[in-house]
Chains A and B, each alone.
Chain A
Amino acid sequence: MDLSLYAREGEREFVELTRAFVRKTVNPMFGGDAPDGDLDRVPSILDAAFEVGIAASPRSGMPGFEYGIWGTSSDNPGGVRLSAILLSIVAETCAGIAMNLHVQGLASRVITSSENDLPEPPARVAVALQEGHTPPCYRALLGQGGRSDEGIGTRAIPAETGWVISGSKSFIYGMEGTDAFLVFCSTAEHHGGENPGCLLVPAGAQGLEVRDIGGRTGIRACGLSHLALKDVKVAPEHYLSSGEAFSQVGQAVCLHWLGISAIAAGNASGALKAAREYAAVRYQGGTTIEEHPAVRKLLALSEARVEAAFALLLQTAGFASGNADFLRRCAITKLMTTDWAFSAVTDALQVFGGYGYMEDYGMEKRLRDAIVLKTTAGSRNYMETFISDAGRGEIR
């Protein structure tokens, strides 16, 4: 599968740029003994991504400000679509690196779409949407039905010098060395999740504790942490919502789900390519195994699922807008593409037989990444409930 085919006229140069970046910068991560690649290289890879403009930045002078992944060009469906394709291309080689670029772009997008102009936006940002077991701001987006809770638990109270935040956020993906977190809170006067607010919290803020999450299955090239906020003071200019918080949450959730979908589809596409290459050179029973009916069946199903994932992803990206129906479409896309991608990866791994289970061939890493993408940012049960509620018009 050649993802370039999905790019339109004028987008190909970005695709080629991304491919060159992956070839030159990401590929050398692999080849050693470490199952997730040489993770010590990740900071320099991300530095390079900023330099070439693949990583979005909320700073207007930076190369990725406009055309980086989820840069300001994502104001229109074409930009969303292109960012999704670029994410997939990176994820074909390493889903963890793609996750770094995705969450950076997501946070940049929230900042750049805010009506508040930050005097000096931070370079590396992460979005803190999730609380406890609840998927991204689900509670904030849900109306009266379903599993409505007491609202977003993290609260921001107005103070003389700005805002004071207390609460916790969980499962925050972000680059190592993140400068600041975008924390979605319920503001005091609107407590109950009716109108959440988004505040920028510097990583070194007093009262903010960034907790290591411990060992995990996959997407290890991207940082993951919990946040504990205790009376964290935030300057007034770091309140980014200006009455638009609700659409900010919606936009962030949409792009998050699309990004996860794009990474999952890219990861699966990479697995399929690897399986095809292996099947073409591995001899068993007098022929290459690509001639074996069982292998052909695995490859065909894997390919069908990867194609279906991209078809749905790109179709949804083409509908990009700020309304509730787009949110519903993104939820469906996340639910289905991560599922198809997971199945495609496990079928591709099966083609390798015993070798697929060993770290040397990289397939087990793809499977580990695929299950994380399937379960993060809203498990299957939540997505089903969300889609059901959205279909009944209960999602705002």
Chain B
Amino acid sequence: MKPEALDFQAGVDALRPENASKHLDFFGKLLVDNREMTIWEHDTRLLPAGARIWRRRARDFARRYIRPDAARADSLPREYDPRPIVSQAARKGFQNLLLALPLGTAFPGSYFFKSASFQVAVVAEEFAAESGGIALLLMAHHLGCAPLLLSGHVPTILRHLLPLYARTLRGRPEIMAFAITEPGAGSDVEETEGGARARLVTTARQVDGGFVINGRKCFISDGAIADKVTLFAKLQGEGLESWTCFLIEKGMEGYSIGRQEHKLGQRASDASELILDDVRVPQRNVVGSLRSGWANNRNVLNYSRPVVGAMALGHARGAFERALEFCRNTLLGGKRLIDYQDIQIELADMMIKLWSARALIWHSCSQFRCYQSASAAAKVAASDISFEVCTKAMEIMGDNGYLESRGAESLWRDSRLTQIYEGTNQINRLAVIEHQWAEMSGSLFSG
């Protein structure tokens, strides 16, 4: 390097905040944060102790167990055996997070002062940063468990949820799935007006000792591998207002798995059709009260949407990290890509978006009860940001971006689903408005 270049570099180094702040007085230095710490670490330290622990555990688990399986699970989903990773996650306590210790594995502080979803969302981001499919495979289980908990029906919780969690802790995990979508009704059943007009066919007929259910559900995540499914059906001769949740168990006569979809991404988790042909369900498998299904379903979505947002955020963070690595390792014109200011601006823009999504997600599940507007807003914002950031990550990498070996394109494919499931983002926008609009007058934000 020429002497004048060395002088310039020395001048630049002297102006860097960490060096310049040495000239501050003692108290001034105390007020400057020059710790060498990643953003991940900064954010982790914002969390209450329990969530902080789960965030660290989840990152370690994702790197150790999910990362090695990610490419294979995406490229050969039909050959991928999900049981080992489910068992491993269960052993580590990741599958019992919907209840606080000692009944589940969530830490009570974060559980009661935040919400039941908070620690799940924190974990979801870490898993999804490595593989969208495996993250969904593990997270769909919580969605399946949620109606049992949110029914608020103590016999249901005692009869079904607690034994399930106990078996999981004893090393015999069961996979749960959640089934609301039908071929003729997708996002309809995730919104009030749509629900009123939805054409649902799955029907439960009351018989001695229980119900007989007929119908079909589609696009059910983990449907093919689930041991049990919380499934919603209307009562015979009634409309959606009669929706009731039933616990369907693998092996019940008349219950079978139909078509398994071929998806753009999130392939490690199957999206399957469930066929119910005169399935006899005992009374004890009714989740909560009769006709409580619609309310339960809507509340499940309030708790699950922040988690979907967190998964979307994870995909985007994963793609960002791969783009960052690419920019560090790729030379252009004798310089690393990351040394170009226009690339820095792009990366910074992506970071800002990731940060804002995380802030909204954590905000949306920071109260004991998740509520509709905030949950839906977090899901919409995070999934839109995710797809945008993943797209930018691929763009920054140019032609390398669309090569499977670079890892960003699979996360891009994964992220696109988050704009669709758990209600399309169009439906979720209506949910943001509906919750406030119908009940309140005046300003929504200033009280």
Which of chain B's residues has its CB closest to A33's CB? Answer: B262
Given A353-B187, A364-B264, A367-B416: 12 more A-B contacts, CB < 8 Å: A134-B332, A214-B404, A285-B193, A297-B426, A350-B426, A354-B421, A357-B263, A359-B261, A371-B412, A376-B402, A377-B399, A384-B342
Contact B395 A374, beta carbon cutoff 8 Å: yes
CA distance A294 to B432 in the complex (A): 14
Contact A350 B420, beta carbon cutoff 8 Å: yes
The segment out of A23-31, A94-102, A215-223, A249-257 that lies at the interface is: A215-223
CA distance A350 to B387 in the complex (A): 13
Is B186's CB within 8 Å of the partner chain A?
Answer: yes
Is A176's CB within 8 Å of the partner chain B?
Answer: no
- Which residues 384-429 of B have a CB within 8 angstroms of A? 387, 391-392, 394-405, 409, 412-413, 416-417, 419-421, 424-427, 429
A 126-157 binary contact with B (CB < 8 Å = 1; else 0): 00001011110000000000011110000000
Is B75's CB within 8 Å of the partner chain A?
Answer: yes
B interface residues (Cβ-Cβ under 8 A, vs A): 75, 181, 184-188, 193-194, 197-199, 218-219, 261-265, 271, 330, 332-334, 337, 340, 342-343, 346, 387, 391-392, 394-405, 409, 412-413, 416-417, 419-421, 424-427, 429-430
Partner of A284, one of B185, B219, B392, B405: B185
Given contacts A284-B185, A350-B424, A354-B421, contact A148 B405 (CB under 8 A): no
Partner of A35, one of B262, B399, B412: B262
Contact B398 A284, beta carbon cutoff 8 Å: no
CA distance A213 to B262 in the complex (A): 24
Given contacts A133-B332, A286-B197, A359-B262, contact A354 B186 (CB under 8 A): yes
CB distance from A235 to the nearest CB of B (A): 31
Partner of B397, one of A134, A214, A379: A379
Contact A149 B332, beta carbon cutoff 8 Å: yes
CA distance A286 to B198 in the complex (A): 8
Is A205's CB within 8 Å of the partner chain B?
Answer: no
Partner of B261, one of A216, A284, A358: A358
Is A381's CB within 8 Å of the partner chain B?
Answer: yes
CA distance A284 to B402 in the complex (A): 36
B417 neighbours in A (Cβ, 8 Å): 357
A385 neighbours in B (Cβ, 8 Å): 342
CA distance A286 to B185 in the complex (A): 11
CA distance A346 to B411 in the complex (A): 16
B334 neighbours in A (Cβ, 8 Å): 149-150
Contact B198 A285, beta carbon cutoff 8 Å: yes
- Which residues 11-53 of A have a CB within 8 angstroms of B? 33, 35
A 213-248 binary contact with B (CB < 8 Å = 1; else 0): 111111000000000000000000000000000000
Is A382's CB within 8 Å of the partner chain B?
Answer: yes
CA distance A364 to B330 in the complex (A): 30
Given contacts A376-B402, A379-B401, contact A360 B194 (CB under 8 A): no
Given contacts A149-B334, A353-B424, contact A381 B396 (CB under 8 A): yes
Contact A358 B402, beta carbon cutoff 8 Å: no
CB distance from B38 to the nearest CB of A (A): 25
Which of chain A's residues has its CB closest to B399's CB? Answer: A171
Given contacts A215-B75, A357-B417, A359-B263, contact A375 B333 (CB under 8 A): no
Is A170's CB within 8 Å of the partner chain B?
Answer: yes
Which of chain A's residues has its CB closest to B405's CB? Answer: A214
A 84-100 binary contact with B (CB < 8 Å = 1; else 0): 00000000000000000
Contact A149 B333, beta carbon cutoff 8 Å: yes
- Which residues 160-182 of A have a CB within 8 angstroms of B? 170-171
Which of chain B's residues has its CB closest to A173's CB? Answer: B399
CB distance from B414 to the nearest CB of A (A): 11
Interface pairs (12), CB distance under 8 Å: A133-B332, A134-B332, A215-B75, A217-B413, A283-B184, A350-B420, A350-B425, A358-B261, A367-B264, A374-B395, A375-B401, A379-B399
A171 neighbours in B (Cβ, 8 Å): 399
B399 neighbours in A (Cβ, 8 Å): 130, 133, 170-171, 375-377, 379
Which of chain B's residues has its CB closest to A135's CB? Answer: B398
CA distance A231 to B427 in the complex (A): 61
Contact B186 A353, beta carbon cutoff 8 Å: yes
Contact B420 A371, beta carbon cutoff 8 Å: no
Contact B199 A283, beta carbon cutoff 8 Å: yes
A 271-282 binary contact with B (CB < 8 Å = 1; else 0): 000000000000
Contact A147 B400, beta carbon cutoff 8 Å: no
Contact B332 A359, beta carbon cutoff 8 Å: no
A381 neighbours in B (Cβ, 8 Å): 342-343, 346, 395-396
A384 neighbours in B (Cβ, 8 Å): 342
A130 neighbours in B (Cβ, 8 Å): 399
B271 neighbours in A (Cβ, 8 Å): 358
CB distance from B269 to the nearest CB of A (A): 13
A356 neighbours in B (Cβ, 8 Å): 420
CB distance from A214 to the nearest CB of B (A): 5
CA distance A213 to B402 in the complex (A): 11
CA distance A215 to B72 in the complex (A): 13
CA distance A193 to B293 in the complex (A): 70
A344 neighbours in B (Cβ, 8 Å): none
CA distance A372 to B425 in the complex (A): 24
Contact B332 A147, beta carbon cutoff 8 Å: yes
Contact A216 B403, beta carbon cutoff 8 Å: yes
B199 neighbours in A (Cβ, 8 Å): 283-284
Contact B402 A218, beta carbon cutoff 8 Å: yes
CB distance from B206 to the nearest CB of A (A): 28
B75 neighbours in A (Cβ, 8 Å): 215
Contact A353 B395, beta carbon cutoff 8 Å: no
CA distance A372 to B426 in the complex (A): 26
Which of chain A's residues has its CB closest to B345's CB? Answer: A381
Contact B402 A147, beta carbon cutoff 8 Å: no
A374 neighbours in B (Cβ, 8 Å): 391, 395
Given contacts A133-B330, A346-B387, A382-B398, contact A360 B262 (CB under 8 A): yes
Contact B398 A133, beta carbon cutoff 8 Å: yes
CA distance A384 to B342 in the complex (A): 9
Which of chain B's residues has its CB closest to A378's CB? Answer: B398
Contact B332 A375, beta carbon cutoff 8 Å: no
Given contacts A375-B395, A375-B397, contact A350 B402 (CB under 8 A): no
CA distance A284 to B426 in the complex (A): 14
CA distance A385 to B333 in the complex (A): 14
A134 neighbours in B (Cβ, 8 Å): 332
Is A191's CB within 8 Å of the partner chain B?
Answer: no
CA distance A147 to B333 in the complex (A): 6
A309 neighbours in B (Cβ, 8 Å): none
Given contacts A147-B333, A171-B399, A367-B416, contact A298 B262 (CB under 8 A): no
CB distance from A103 to the nearest CB of B (A): 14
Which of A350, A354, A384 counts the most B-chain CB atoms under 10 A from its CB? A354
Is A380's CB within 8 Å of the partner chain B?
Answer: yes
CA distance A149 to B427 in the complex (A): 50
Contact B264 A371, beta carbon cutoff 8 Å: no
Which of B186, B193, B398, B426 counts the most A-chain CB atoms under 10 A from its CB? B398
Given contacts A371-B394, A378-B398, contact A358 B342 (CB under 8 A): no
Contact B400 A357, beta carbon cutoff 8 Å: no
CA distance A382 to B395 in the complex (A): 10
Partner of A285, one of B188, B343, B392: B188
CB distance from B26 to the nearest CB of A (A): 44
Contact B398 A379, beta carbon cutoff 8 Å: yes
Which of chain B's residues has its CB closest to A284's CB? Answer: B188
Contact A354 B181, beta carbon cutoff 8 Å: yes
Contact B416 A346, beta carbon cutoff 8 Å: yes
A298 neighbours in B (Cβ, 8 Å): 426
Is A396's CB within 8 Å of the partner chain B?
Answer: no
Partner of B402, one of A33, A133, A217, A382: A217
